[in-house]
Amino acid sequence: MANNVIVGIRDIGARVFGGYAELLRIPHTARFSIGSVIACMPFPMVGMTITISVQYYYGNYSLAGALTAIQAIALAIATPLLGKLVDKFGQRQVSIPTIIVWMVAAVSLTTCITNRAPEWVLYCITPFMAAIPPWGAMSRGRWTHLLKGDRVRTDRALSLCGVFDECMWVIGNPLASTLAVISGLLAFSFTGVCVVVGALMFLTELTTEPPSQTQLARAADMTRREYREREAAKAAALQAERDAEQPGTGKRKESIWGPGLIAVCVTWFGLGAFQSAASISIISFATEQGMKQYTGFVFACFSFSSLMGALVYGAKNWTIALWKRFYFCLAVVNLGISLFLFAHNLWTIMIIYLLIGVCQAPTWINGNQLMLHLVPPTRLTEGMAWMGAMNSIGASAGSAIAGQFIDRMGSHGGFLVVTALAIGSLVIALVGFKQIKDGTEKPLLQEITV
């Protein structure tokens, strides 16, 4: 009996994890994948560290919300620009100077917060905390370059990226809350070490790095502009051929900004808004109950549940249409998080997070897969960067609005904001239904190099 159970467990494990193990056995892939996760630690840790540290030293949620909003807005501006520069010049050429700027900003901000510097100084330094290379987009770019033409393994690789992202949040959230309560300096120092270690792992792996537009143009003995014009002409010719074979597919524009991408980006704005509002509201709620040190573990439950969802979701080859999966997962997250308004203790919020978290990572995975239909392959980093940027802009708006309501009405006011933003985000996504559905039916131009 025991042997049968063990055999059954092994069989299930092989089915769920076998595809992921196959990907990570490809030479050098484990190194850049794990490196990108470690280097991404500023994403779960910086916002929470700023919120807890500023509230401790300044006693002001409005200031904490405003600073996290500024950092998110700066991130939204910087991320697409960095993504575009990466596509043009290469990952290492852009990432190294960006990391140096972030390290200087982190040391300066920590020093100012712990010494209670004037608020205007914090406002000046915080935008530079957005100098974070688009590690996730660069990692996904490496996978799509490496698995070009293999749709099944590419989709699984994007799911694997979602799994690694959730591992980062599972670890980062409780660490941030625990270390920030002890010392903001300790939290920022740990984050800095992660950035350096992860960057070394990622950037020193050269064999999987996709060629930049500059490198491809130089190899063709052309300027970058000439090369892009030539490839755009090839793409137009291929699209015309496909239109003749499949009438009604529509003509793909050279610009990445089509109706489908706009609809996804606006949806991601709403997603970022209510999730950031939920984060600062939960911190306030836990503080009111004298349980602030447990907030990171509450967020970790959400990330852990999302991690499990990503593992199962990526292990299956789905036959259900992508747009149907996208809207189902989005509805579960948005409607579920609205229930925070009726929670009476921190453990209720934790249970809700565990239940809805299984659809969080699949929502992002579906969004990443939508990008494969909406943007040319060598502008994938830029397209994903815009999606992340809109999420950051939404996060800035959500945290700023929630901070104002929390200072006036307590955590209940914050949860009112969360509910309104979550329902509004779902409505926005439904308004863009036609664009998103049509976008998934467009053919991919994987044959074109630029």
* Buried/exposed 253-289: b ≥16 CB within 10 Å, e otherwise: eeebebebbbbbbbbbbbbbbbbbbbbbbbbbbbbee
Q: For residue 257, what are its two tokens?
A: 């900004």
**What sign results for the dihedral spanned by CA atoms 74, 76, 79, 81?**
negative
Which backbone phi and psi does 326 adopt, to 5 degrees? -60, -50
Contacts of 440 (CB under 8 A, 6+ apart): 260, 321, 322, 323, 370, 373
Q: Kind and range of the H or E element at 247?
A: none
The percent helix, strand, coil of the chain (3-state, each to 5) is 85, 0, 15
Task: Please report the pLDDT score of residue 244 as a whole number.
Answer: 62
Per-residue pLDDT of the chain (450 residues; tens, 9 = 90+): 555 556 555 655 555 566 777 888 888 888 888 888 888 877 767 777 787 778 778 877 678 778 877 887 787 788 878 888 888 888 888 889 999 998 999 889 888 888 888 888 989 998 998 888 888 888 888 888 788 767 777 777 877 777 777 677 667 666 766 676 666 677 778 888 888 898 999 988 888 888 877 777 777 777 767 777 777 676 667 666 655 655 544 444 445 666 777 777 888 888 888 877 888 788 888 888 777 767 777 877 887 788 788 777 766 777 788 888 888 988 898 888 888 888 888 888 888 888 888 888 788 778 777 777 777 666 666 777 777 778 777 777 787 788 778 878 888 888 888 888 888 888 888 877 777 777 666 555 444 333
User: How is residue 64 written in tokens?
Assistant: 């904490």
Residues 6+ apart with CB under 8 A from 64: 50, 51, 54, 55, 58, 280, 403
**pLDDT of 100:** 92
Q: Which CATH number is associated with domain 23-210+255-440?
A: 1.20.1250.20
Domain extents in the chain: 23-210+255-440
CB within 8 A of 250, min separation 6: which ones? 243, 438, 442
Task: Give the list of residues 6+ apart from residue 204 with CB closer than 8 angstroms, or none.
Answer: none
